[in-house]
Structures are given as C-alpha cells and as structure tokens.
Amino acid sequence: MNALEFIVAGMLAAATPFLLAALGEMVAERAGVLNLGVEGLMALGAIIAFIIVYHGGGHLLGFLAAGLASAALSLVFAVIALGFRANQVAVGLAIGILGQGLSALFGKTYESLTVKGLPKLSLPWLSDIPVIGGLFAQDVVVWLSLAATVAIWAVFAYTKTGLVVRAVGENPKAAHALGYPVIAVRFAAVAFGGVLAGFAGAYAAVVYTPLWADGMIAGRGWIAIALVVFGTWLTSRIFLGACLFGAVSLASLAAQATGLDVSSQLLSSLPYIVTIIVLGIISSNRRLLKLNGVASLGEPFEQ
C-alpha cells in the first residue's frame, strides 16, 4: 500500500471522531448554544468506553455508556449556562477542563492497555477498485456515522424539528412567542451534542486507536468546534471538512513513515496549522458567515 492508498483507505476512519463531535456541536450551535467543552466531553466518553470494553462489556455497551456520560456532563453545562444564564464561553471551558480531568483520573490505572477493535465491513466489488477501494472497507461505526450525517442533514432540511431548532437559534423571542419551549429545545440540543461527542471519544479510544493513553483526544474537540465554523453550520461542508482534516492527519503519518526529512513535530502539527489557516480564510469572508451564521449564538435567553 503506497502513501496515497493509505490516506484514501484511512481517511473516513480518521475523520469520524471529527465528524461526530462537529455534528453534535453544530446541532447545539444551531439552537443558539456555544459549547466549548467538546474536548472534555470527548475525553470523558473515551475513557468510559475504554473501561467498559476492557472489562468485557462489548463495544455497543461502551458506546452507549460513553454517550450517556458525555450527555450528563453536557447537561451540567446546560444547567449552568442556560438555567442560570452564566457566560457560555466560560462555562464551556470549565466543563472541558473538568471532562479532561475526570478522564485522566479514571484512566490512570489503564495507561498503555489495549482492547480489541472492530472488524471492517467491505462493500462487494467496490472495495476491490484500485487506489480508492479502501474507501469502501470501513468498520460499522464509520458507516453509521455517514448515515447519521445524512439523517441530520435531512432533519434540518425537511422536518419541523429542524425548523424549530433553527428558529430557536435565530430568534428565540419569536420562537417563544409562537409557543416553542426555547430552553427545553436548547437543553435537548446540548444533550444531543454531548451524546455525539461521547461517541466520538469512544470511537477514538476503542476503535480507531484501541489503546488508552492520557490526552489521546489530542485537540480533536477543538478542531471539531473549528469545523463547525469551517462548514458554516452546514452538514455537507462539515463532512467535507472532517474528511480534509482526516486526510491531513494521515498525510503527516505517511510522510513520517516514508522518512521525509522534516521534523516529526512539524508534521504532527499539520492538522492544527490547517485549522488556523482555514479559520482565517473563512473568518475573512463576513458575507458567508452572516449568510449561514446563527444570529443568537451564545446569547442567553430570558423569558
């Protein structure tokens, strides 16, 4: 397998943690809530899933527990930020630090231990295509993540639920005047984002790299938040952005494996460098941000 085939085959798997966490954050932001604690939510989900899978609970139970744990922590954020109308940025950062601290605490005795990953499910014929065939041989979580991406896009594009979430984020006072429970919708959106962040962390810990190491989330949560802006709150663009960052992270590994005479630290930082560059480009386009942005993002709502 050459470098190109390696990147193509692993791109979707590498993109999955970014994609799941970014989709969850997009739903929360569409409802007008800015949750900067995604990194901590992913870290907590990662260790909960790892502990359960390591002790024989199975991947399904591990993912469910990870989603519930991260959702519970995200609801702590919601209670403080929405219930008590605290500053969402400050509370999100605190929740992120708390999640990472809990992850380090629970994972101390599991350092460097490994678990069994998931087998790949190949699509007949398609997986045999030269060069790009690896795209069609992925584990079940990747396939479910792609289905979830389509489902979330469809909900926002075609259903009343998606319309209500967008209304709550764009103009909460008008949504309240129409009888929609703004705070309840925002709580649900935050919890949903927590579940997907937990799934993202679980995938990173028990499928993508099935071993435990403190700090293994390694900034993926922050990249996921950046992806929402990069994708201008649109599901399709977030998916493409996740694939881009997945490919870049694999490209750095491929470059190191081929013995390229470049600092390994520089190659490892490529995803973050790309994040900064992309955010700079997107942020300079005020028209694009205004067209697709969320009008009441981060603003508290008082009935």
Give 155's contacts (C-beta < 8 A, 6+ positions apart).
Answer: 161, 162
Angle at 59 between CA 56 and CA 63, to 5 degrees: 120
Closest C-alpha to 70, from 178, 187, 197, 227: 197
With a pLDDT cut of 90, the percent of the chain lying above it is 72
Q: Is 93 helix (H, G, I), strand (E, B) or coil?
A: helix
Pick the CATH number of 3-292 from 3.40.1350, 1.20.950, 1.10.3470, 2.60.40: 1.10.3470
Q: What pLDDT was estimated at residue 19?
A: 97
CA 270 – CA 220 distance, rounded (Å): 13
Q: Is 215 helix (H, G, I), strand (E, B) or coil?
A: coil
Query: Which residue type occupies 299?
Result: E
For residue 285, pLDDT over 80 is answered with: no
Each residue's pLDDT tens digit, 159-185? 999 999 999 999 999 999 999 999 999
Q: What pLDDT was estimated at residue 152?
A: 98
Q: What is the arithmetic mean of pLDDT over 277-302?
A: 80
CA 233 – CA 129 distance, rounded (Å): 34
Each residue's pLDDT tens digit, 12-54? 999 999 999 999 999 999 999 999 999 999 999 999 999 999 9
Q: Is 53 helix (H, G, I), strand (E, B) or coil?
A: helix
Closest C-alpha to 39, from 62, 59, 18: 18
Q: Is 121 helix (H, G, I), strand (E, B) or coil?
A: strand
Helix or strand (DSSP H, E) at 139:
strand 137-139
Q: What pLDDT was estimated at residue 161?
A: 96
With a pLDDT cut of 70, the percent of the chain lying above it is 98
Does pTM surpass 0.85?
Answer: yes
Each residue's pLDDT tens digit, 109-152? 999 999 999 999 998 888 888 888 889 999 999 999 999 999 99
Q: What pLDDT was estimated at residue 249?
A: 85
CA 24 – CA 189 distance, rounded (Å): 8
Q: Where are the alpha helices (DSSP H) in the chain?
A: 3-30, 38-54, 59-78, 88-107, 140-158, 160-170, 172-177, 182-203, 220-230, 235-257, 264-268, 270-284, 286-292
pLDDT band for 1, please (50, 70, 90 cuts).
low
pLDDT band for 276, please (50, 70, 90 cuts).
confident
Give 247's contacts (C-beta < 8 A, 6+ positions apart).
Answer: 7, 11, 14, 15
For residue 262, pLDDT over 90 is answered with: no
- Beta pairing partners, 211: 114
Q: What pLDDT was estimated at residue 84?
A: 94
Q: Kind of pairing, strands 137-139 and 120-122?
A: antiparallel
Q: Which two tokens stand for residue 219?
A: 């900034």
